Structure 1
């Protein structure tokens, strides 16, 4: 496989300008071209296959070239199992569950970047960028070669938990031609950098279908990347990982887990979470429910105090002293509605946005935090 040749940003702009599925971001000291969503023809041109975080200097010269876009087995017509010949020479690599990181030289300094540049994740990964590694990266970059890492860390967890912050060398790639260096070069550079190269596995599979069945059955890992000598790259993820990833996504934002708590859907998610996340989710759910009960009791007490008042006197003498949500709840309960059901309905109706969650937080006073 011959990758699209890139010397200058103009080589790529022609193929991505005015397309909503790509972003061209000017960061001042560098520019980024990345895809933001995948449509039917997003990767139909070889130039667009490379637009997965390409970095360019202000002058337009290419700074760094991370991994190209490659697909899951079965994701496209070209990657259907019956179209992939596992009898051809190939390497199976471990797919780590972290963030792709690569270095670049900006204003004379070696820095780390993710697909979109010097993000918060990239800056955190720089705690692994010691002086020795920076020298190694500079040497490669000055020779128009990008080393590409996976950064895994306890505070950069997607699904799989890692005990330590670490970099793993995934690939070494020429900026202009896009060619990847072979395994021997990769191992040699990893040794010089004092880090580990990506783990590889001996392949005994003669069909993509057999390999895919194995990959889907793995537990406690994300999956694999298969690199053929022909240049084809494909990936396969474990069903266990995919399910857990979806479950984790469903609780990352408080508005989502709060909606699950109120709808009773959290019970379906808990078995897919690891123990610490499941414990945190259960504790949050218990806190929400306890908070709702406290608020219900408070509303009932307020309504009881004004039970003998006329509606007008209650409105002017009691309700005016309450904030918005509590005032509405007081009138609902005074009208004979269940305080608990009213509170839960009010919170649930505001779970579609973070601002709505904050607006209703006084009704339960629980706070969501996922370590």
Structure 2
């Protein structure tokens, strides 16, 4: 019976083509190659990114919607398509979506399944304020990687930590060789986090079956880790009669990000403490337009949606408050989708300009003998043509991407792999554009004169 329930919670995954089919035509996801593997991630999370699989119109769509929720750093071998690592599926805060409301709710004539603590076994685990990492084989070696790569600065820190601490590699190799993905949380005093850590720690938080997506039960994970001397995420010591009771009790904790309610069938829900929410979501700041943009572009709006509470006026039915919450969440989702679409369109426009300018520069005699001179010519041409609010971003893009191989190939003309090269270049341009805009939200003047025009002058309020 347990395996039948788990099969309904997760899709079985064996080959990269399953993920490609699931995200085809949806721009909210990213496939990126690193060395001998490809990794899938979502770029922005809102209702359109992760529709509720329970409301899918047919089995194929349901499987695709389940697979979309696996795009949190899932890794495949680039040549064989074999699955290498399956990280946490995308899960949400209690109260963030209709499907994560703590009681039974009627939505669009559909009954949304309640979160029932009595239905099956569960454990409540402390939520660490770090980043998840997991080991997988790349180029014949077992390496730890973040959700994007094993080569970035954070991954290098983790691999150095693992190399100097006994137990991690042997423990990980044993599980990986059996077709599982151990998932750890990396917490470091070097990271800018709400919860402060005095020393780096690497804590086991889950072990997942690569094929089925099932999670090893907490007790079994504890026993295996204890034998290897590996620290394991702590279970919350309190007790609760219902999800509402659990929310109230965890909400009062201090010095803790929150907890994860994890059912034995693999369903998970985040519960944030009030202390943590006040550190990350200032109610005064959230009224500022630039902070809304910053949260959306940083992909942090889920915490805001999960913490939204509406207090109905005295004498009103509680459903009125719920309708207020639902309307506000829908407004956030619509605005997020529109903003992301506008930013992606701007990144595409800038990429097309760079490609055309690179072609023109090469045609006028540049392009081979002096790369630095070519870059200067390219920057000068693009900056001259750019609008005032675009100039700083154009300089940044040209500085980083003027000699990018994929752009050189695109500028040279169509050929094998042209579509893939364009997609890779667009992903990089989009990433850099979003980073530039996030930095610009720190100051109101920069936001008003540069960031908002880049997003096509949208207004949330």
TM-score norm. by structure 1 comes to: 0.65
Q: Name which one, 1 or 2, has greater alpha-carbon Rg.
A: 1
Contact 1:91 1:202 survives alignment (8 Å): no
**Structure 1 residue 36: Cα displacement:** 1.0
Q: Which residue of 2 aligns with 1:30?
A: 37
**1:85 alignment partner in structure 2:** 116
The structure-2 alpha-carbon separation of the partners of 1:13 and 1:351, relative to structure 1 and needing over 3 Å to count, comes to: same
Matched with 1:58 is 78
1:68 aligns with 2:86: no
> RMSD between aligned alpha carbons?
2.5
Match of 1:111 among 127, 130, 143: 143
Shift of residue 203, structure 1, vs aligned partner? 5.0
Q: Is the 8 A contact 2:41 2:147 kept in 1?
A: yes
Q: Superposed, which structure 2 residues align to 1:205-284 within 5 Å? A: 205-246=240-281
TM-aligned CA deviation for residue 32 of structure 1: 0.6
1:165 aligns with 2:200: yes
Gaps of 5+ in 1: 257-346, 357-371
Q: Are the equivalent residues in 2 in contact too, given 1:104–1:112 (CA < 8 A)?
A: yes
1:123 alignment partner, one of 151, 156, 166? 156
Cα deviation for residue 84 of structure 1 reads: 1.3
Q: CA deviation at 1:189?
A: 2.5
Segments of structure 2 that go 5 or more residues without pairing to the other structure are: 1-5, 52-64, 104-113, 292-441, 452-461
User: CA offset at residue 41 of structure 1?
Assistant: 3.2
User: CA offsets per residue over residues 230-254 of structure 1, 9 Å max, x none?
Assistant: 432111001221221246xx8xxxx
Residues 154-211 of structure 1, C-alpha deviations (whole Å, 9 max, x = no match): 1124110111111110011111111111123211232233221110134521211111
1:179-198 superposed matches below 5 A: 179-198=214-233
C-alpha change, 1:170 and 1:351, in structure 2 (3 Å) is same
- For 1:295, the equivalent position in structure 2 comes to none
Contact 1:66–1:148, Cα closer than 8 Å, also in 2: yes
Secondary structure of the 1:154 match is coil
Q: Identify if the C-alpha distance between structure 1 residues 216 and 132 changes in structure 2 by more than 3 Å, giving closer, same or farther.
A: closer
- Identify the residue that residue 439 of structure 2 maps to in structure 1: none
Distance in 1 (CA, whole Å) between partners of 2:188 and 2:443 is: 34
| 2:177 match | 142
Residue 72 of structure 1 and its aligned partner are, at CA, apart by: 0.6
User: Is the 1:105–1:138 contact (alpha carbons within 8 Å) kept by the matching residues of 2?
Assistant: no
CA distance in 1, matches of 2:231, 2:131: 16
Does structure 2 conserve the Cα–Cα contact (< 8 Å) formed by 1:93 and 1:201? yes
- State the TM-score, normalized to the length of structure 2: 0.53
Secondary structure of the residue that 1:187 maps to in structure 2? helix
Measured in 2, the distance between the counterparts of 1:174 and 1:33 equals 18
| Alignment pair present for 1:7 and 2:21 | no
Structure 1, 188-197 or 54-63: larger mean CA deviation:
188-197
Contact 1:101 1:149 in 2 (8 A): yes
User: Are the counterparts in 1 of residues 39 and 75 from structure 2 also a CA contact under 8 Å?
Assistant: yes
Instruction: Detail structure 1 runs of 4+ shifted over 4 Å in the superposition.
Output: 347-350
User: What is the deviation of 1:349?
Assistant: 7.3
Q: Given that residues 124 and 261 in structure 2 are in contact (C-alpha distance below 8 angstroms), is that contact kept between their aligned partners in structure 1?
A: yes
Residue by residue, what CA displacement relative to the aligned partner does 1:30-62 show, whole Å, maximum 9, x if unpaired? 101111112323223111111111011112111
Question: In the alignment, is residue 178 of structure 1 matched against residue 185 of structure 2?
Answer: no
